[in-house]
Amino acid sequence: QRDRANRGAAPGLRAGAAAVALAAVASAAVDAVTAAVDEGCSSEEDVKGKEEEEEEQQQEQRSRPLSFWEWLGGRPELWVDPLASRVMGGLQHWDNTGGSSTAGAGAAAENTSNWRSHASFRTSSNSTRGISTSSSSSSMSSSKRVVPLCFGPLELATIVWAAARLQLHRAVPEHFPWLLHDIMYGSYNQMSYFDGRQLAQLSYSLAQLGPAAVPPARWGARFLAAAGERMGEMDSQSLANLAHSLEPLNLRPDPAWLRHLLAASGTRMLQPGAGAGTGPAAGARMLKPG
């Protein structure tokens, strides 16, 4: 009887255990669903919070004035200076290709050998920057007998004058070194093509650009040689600009050069109306000392 009672109770026990297991599974499923719903709500809240934060930042940016550099950002192709475009489009570059060239280019062609004698400056400059000049390119340039297209004396003198007037060494110090390098390099290679007024303009403008613009010794030697040859064509203003620039640029002319400067200045002082600028460069001055 006891065995029969146990056998009769066994199905009931098994059914109860199954019911308990089902209840546990159902409870776990409910917990999982609840957790998923909570997580989904939390994710939606996070996304909504980020969107609101981004919108607030955009509104803040729109509310304050936007500077030019912030507007430019990483898109320099969007900015084209209209004045610079007109200037670059109108420049008369030097190209010593023959009879069809301009008068300025013809004068440059006559002095091509002088320009080529200055190639050591270019070679040493390229060496310091890790640039090697191949023999094939040298032979190619020798065969064509062409001075590379570049800014001429007038453009270089105008650029350095503008840099001095704008005080670029203070306004954009991060860009000034490469500009100064190009000015020094270009003027060194074309020093014999500058006229008297342009030489005085070049030295005076460089003198306004601070100690960083003090040229190398060989640049100074070449400049003094060219200026000494051109003093006769300088007017009183150019001679004054030239004399003013000697000390700031650490230029050390010899006594003969200084006597030549004094003689040229004295001649201009004796000319009637010399101070008003009656020389060939009258009306073309850009700067005055002091």
Q: Count of CB atoms within 10 A of residue 248's CB?
A: 17
**Residue that has been written with the tokens 């000390």 in this structure:** 247
DSSP code of residue 174: T
To which H or E segment does residue 228 belong?
helix 217-230
Is-contact 112 147, C-beta < 8 A? Answer: yes
Q: Which amino acid makes up residue 86? A: R
The rounded Cα 141 to chain-centroid distance in angstroms is 28
Domain ranges of the chain: 2-64, 126-276
- Residue 96's closest CA among 82, 79, 81, 113? 113
pLDDT tens digits for the chain (290 residues)? 555 545 555 555 555 666 666 667 667 766 776 766 666 666 667 777 788 888 877 776 666 565 555 655 655 555 555 655 655 565 544 444 444 334 444 443 444 343 333 434 444 444 433 333 344 444 444 444 444 445 789 999 999 999 999 998 888 888 888 888 888 988 998 999 999 999 999 999 999 999 989 999 999 999 999 999 999 999 999 999 999 999 999 999 999 999 999 999 988 877 765 554 433 343 344 444 43
